[in-house]
Amino acid sequence: MALTFSSRRRSGRRSRRLAADAGLLAFAAAFALPLAWVVLSSLDPDADLRVKAPDGLTLDNFDTILTPEITFTPLLNSLILCGSATLLTVVCAALAAYPLSRFRSRLNRPFLLTILFATSLPITAIMVPVYALFVQVDLIDTMQGTILFFAASQLPFAIWLMKNFMDGVPKELEEAAWTDGASSLQSLIRIVLPLMGPGVSVVTVFSFVMMWGNFFVPFMLLLSPDQMPASVSINEFFGNRGMVAYGQLAAFSIVYSTPVILLYVLIARRLGGGFALGGAVKG
């Protein structure tokens, strides 16, 4: 009797494990199929919406898109926009999160709640007044204006992330630096930020990725074709009357994704390294 009950329990656990594995495989397939379509279609001379093996492998799709007008200039514009805005976001988020993390005030909580509310505002709801403001201050169709708006739109959530990571750095380390004559800004730059390297990396990657894939903001604020980033120029592959160059679209998508993948690979070690605080506050 006991043996039968034990075998039933093992059978039940095995069934649940198989069901969980099947569910995970289904989710993995849902994510893998679009990636498979992009890779296969980029090498297919007759690509369409189906996920299928190419009739014949070709690099013609890449040869077609690898031109200054189609790929290189939009990618350069994207790097300038997103790179500059990410740098501005990280710097401003660090400066804003430092007093919120280190100093106690009655205004901290209302300020953080206001920031949290700002993150929930849909971008489409504020673009009309932003567009009117940019026209008034002569920032429409300028790279610097778009960079400023990119940074402003990502700053609220970046401050939240930066503060949470900054809370994990012991204040005793800064107090020791203050005793040696360091200012608050010096302790932030030389002590806090180096110790919260993974946090800075997370904020950097998150901000860059969100800006890199943003279509609506540059589409609204930039008017000159030579200033359009790759997130907007990808729309050129969708022609009139439903005609789409699927092979070229897939090839452009691979090239377009490369900078984000490279950025993640470059800082992936810092993301998994944790905070370098071992033994820092001993003795």
Mean pLDDT score, 62-84: 93
pLDDT at site 268? 74
- At 52, phi and psi to the nearest 5? -145, 160
pLDDT confidence of 85, banded at 50, 70, 90? very high
9-49 pLDDT, tens digit per residue, is: 666 677 788 888 888 888 888 888 888 888 888 888 888 88
The pLDDT assigned to 209 comes to 92
Amino acid at 210: M
Give percent of the chain with pLDDT exceeding 90: 31
Please report which residue ranges of 103-229 form alpha helices under DSSP H.
Answer: 108-119, 123-136, 143-166, 171-179, 184-187, 193-195, 197-212, 216-221
276, pLDDT greater than 60? no
Residue 240 or residue 211, greater confidence: 211
- For 138-158, what is the mean pLDDT? 92
Which residues are CB-neighbours of 119 under 8 A, at least 6 positions away? Answer: 156, 157, 160
Of the chain, the end-to-end C-alpha distance in Å amounts to 61
Separation CA 61–CA 57 (nearest Å): 10
pLDDT band at 76 (very low <50, low <70, confident <90, very high): very high
Question: Residue 198 in contact with residue 76, Cβ under 8 Å?
Answer: no
Q: Give the DSSP per-residue string, 2-45.
A: HHHHHHHHHHHHHHHHHHHHHHHHHHHHHHHHHHHHHHHHHT-T
**pLDDT of 274:** 46
Q: What is the mean pLDDT of residues 269-283?
A: 49
Residue located via tokens 């993995």: 28
Segment 164-189, tens digit of pLDDT = 888 888 888 877 878 877 788 888 88
Q: Has residue 80 got a pLDDT over 80?
A: yes
Q: Is 168 helix (H, G, I), strand (E, B) or coil?
A: coil
Is the pLDDT assigned to residue 275 strictly greater than 50? no
Query: What is the pTM (predicted TM-score) of this model?
Result: 0.82
Provide mean pLDDT across the span 126-145. Answer: 91
Classify 238 as helix, strand or coil. strand
Higher pLDDT: 228 or 125? It is 228
What does the pLDDT read at residue 278?
42
Highest mean pLDDT among 25-34, 114-123, 249-258: 249-258
* Cβ count near 154 (within 10 Å): 25
Per-residue model confidence (pLDDT) at position 219:
92
Q: Provide the pLDDT for residue 100.
A: 86
Can you tell me the distance from the alpha carbon of 97 to that of 108, in angstroms, rounded to the nearest whole number?
10
41 neighbors 26 (Cβ within 8 angstroms): no
Q: Which of 66-70, 200-204, 272-276 shows the lowest mean pLDDT across its residues? A: 272-276
Contacts of 117 (CB under 8 A, 6+ apart): none
* Rg of the chain taking only CA atoms, in angstroms: 25
Partners of residue 244 on adjacent β-strands: 238
Q: C-alpha dihedral over 136, 138, 143, 147, to 10 degrees?
A: -40
